[in-house]
Chains A and B, each alone.
Chain A
Amino acid sequence: MAGGAPGGASKSEIYKGNGPKLLLPAWLFIGVFLVMPVAIMAIYSFLTKEFRGGVIWEFTLAAYDQFFLDRGLFGDEPPSIEWTYIGIFWRSIWQAGLATVLCLLIGFPTAWFIATRDVKARSVWLFLITVPYWVNLLIRTVSMKFLIRDTGPLNEFLLALGVIDTPLALVNTNFAVQLGLFYSYLPFMVLPIYAAVERYDFSMSEAAADLYASSWATLRLVILPVVKPGIVAGCILVFVPSLGAFLAPDLLGGAKTFMIGSLIEEQFKGAAGNWPFGAAASMILLTIVMGVLLVHARAQTKGER
């Protein structure tokens, strides 16, 4: 049987020939909600901008030119590489990457801890991890700001202890943005890793120990290969939304610098009103994210071989 479904011949016979029909809703959904919007973005990014928002249906590369080439403040200097937008992208990527690493460093031991409790305790811990996420992200981000502001509880506490003489300036710094991203996306790291660790057979660790493996070697050679899919999934789930995040940079970082998300928002909602440029920036972001996912997919298939 071509399908080779584990259920045997009877099952694949039912589905035989109906495959395309059964897939139709999924294809429709993907077509309407994924392919069409992306196609519209792709087309807009090659159109001429209309002043104060909108597009003129004339093909041009102006948006990509603006992204990559610098022609000076008045647009009449010989073109050189434009670092402004690359810089904004790089800052966002770096920040998302750092948030991912932080989430991994804290998330992995957390997931390990939960997965090694007994079954009842596990569900309590998982519940506690998810409870804060019943509250809207905006409210959690604002609360974080209340906690770390100059007159907030954290500074008051440290002042009272005498650890510091003047309040730590935490709000409106990169540190605050990192803290916000880390806090926002930590469960996206913990949950997939937990799912992977839960399936891990702990007798394998014992076997490794019997064979005189150090605990480092056990982690590297036995545990990591097994839980790797969970780690990779967690990293993607943290990295991708961090890349487009604008709540943490705006509220905790003081919106002093553009992130990819706020740069794109400014093109559609701000004074610039440059839709093709916003579309082009989105397409470039999409390309980067697709690149990350492709690398992941390639790694997955290699692992399976």
Chain B
Amino acid sequence: MKRVTVPAMLFATVWQLGEAAVPVLMGLAIDRALATGDVGELVLWLGVLIVVYVALTTAARFALRLTAFAVQSLQHRLRGTLSTGVLHPADGAARAPDGGVVSVMTTDVARLANGVILTIMPIARVAAIGFIAVSLLTMDPVLGLVVLIGAPVAVWSMGVLSERLSRGTREYQGLLAATVGRATDLVAGYRVVKGLGVRAEAEATRRYRRASREALAGAERNAGLLGGFLVGSGVITGVFVATVMGLAGWFAVVGRLSIGELIAAVGLTQALLPQIESIANLSIPNLASARASAARIHEALPSSATPESGFFDAGPLPVLEVSGPGTTVRVEPGEFVGVLTDDRSAARLAGALLDPWAGDEVQVRLDGLPVRESSPAGYRSRVTVAPHRVTLFSGTIQDNLLSGTPGQAGAGPEGLTHAAVRAAACDDFVAGLDVPVGEGGNRLSGGQRQRIALARALASDAPVLVLHDPTTAVDPVTEHVIAGRLRDIRQGRSTLLIASTPALLSACDRVIGSAR
């Protein structure tokens, strides 16, 4: 990282010094060339002006690009850490992350990485402030001191004024977000509203209008605060600059400053304010938000990795045994076993198979060995669990089907894919496998999504496959078709079907009914 940030800081310093030097240069040019009428001097100062601009432009370009590169590559690396640590833990046994992980991995990572700029720009700005200070002090010590003490005071008072404004702004942004959220919510329930008719349409519109009016009132309040801040900061800057100009003018009258120095002093004072302002208004808040984000990221990361323990030594087609309170389910190699139980027990059973390391109510064994005492990798290479809640990933149908066959992406057995598509009765809507499914599969209906998910599970050709209510959104006719095809495709493999639908259970070798 230092290989990028140190050069970036040096370039940024050159850039800021160049910006601060421009008013000084102009003052000198007026003094030496315009006031004297010397052509040689004019050419000289024009040349200096151009050289300074070329230097500062070049430096700015490198500084900006290097900074962007540093920020972006840090973001990317942080995201990689979070991805393996939180979102896709390698041991596969960590607690499922909540929705907050999205904002941690986008907003917080971006804020923390922006902290990198703090090691670049403020240092360059401090250098520029130092240059301005030295220039003013060499012109006139009194003037220099007034500016150097006055400018921070001016900026500090603006900071005080802006606090109230930023609080108001946050408040308003919250209101606006709520209004937008309400619109999104109403529109997401569009079909429900339309299904209820004109009266519901009117009511939904009325509710949105109410939220919108609240946001408008917030915007108006905030505009008032903004106005107050603008008056305050404008008066402070204006009076400060006028005072310095008056002082410099007075020194020019009494002969302590030349005309060129007068112009340079005015220019430098004006250049000083934005420098201090940007440290106060950008760097300090940035530091605070980078710190807050760092804390959130730290919290999201697991404190320590679960130690890998034990080597799993089950056969390629192992005996699966699940025992919970009141139930024991045993699946022999090659068997197709159904489990019929109430929703709650079914969910508990499926949950335990999905993550045998969580909870201790249900015990999962492979070939008689408790899974909990072994490594997740061994279990997952033999047992694939298709959860009830369907998630398809953006991409084509093919991408989704191959995602069920780990390590074989792109090289999956084509025959099996097609057989899986047929077995899950997707043939009526799957014209080609390279059709995109949309975000989260939103181009497909609920029933279609569920059937693609079933096809994905079947295409995985897992030694042991656990299916949990795979056809709840599928109509009875199609379900009947699926039931007839499931057995064939799972021939020679073990399957555990947790389902409540009779049609599907009729395909099983045997059905275990647990106490209801």
Q: Do the two chains bind? A: no
Q: Tell me the A residues contacting B by CB distance below 8 Å.
A: none
Q: Tell me the B residues contacting A by CB distance below 8 Å.
A: none
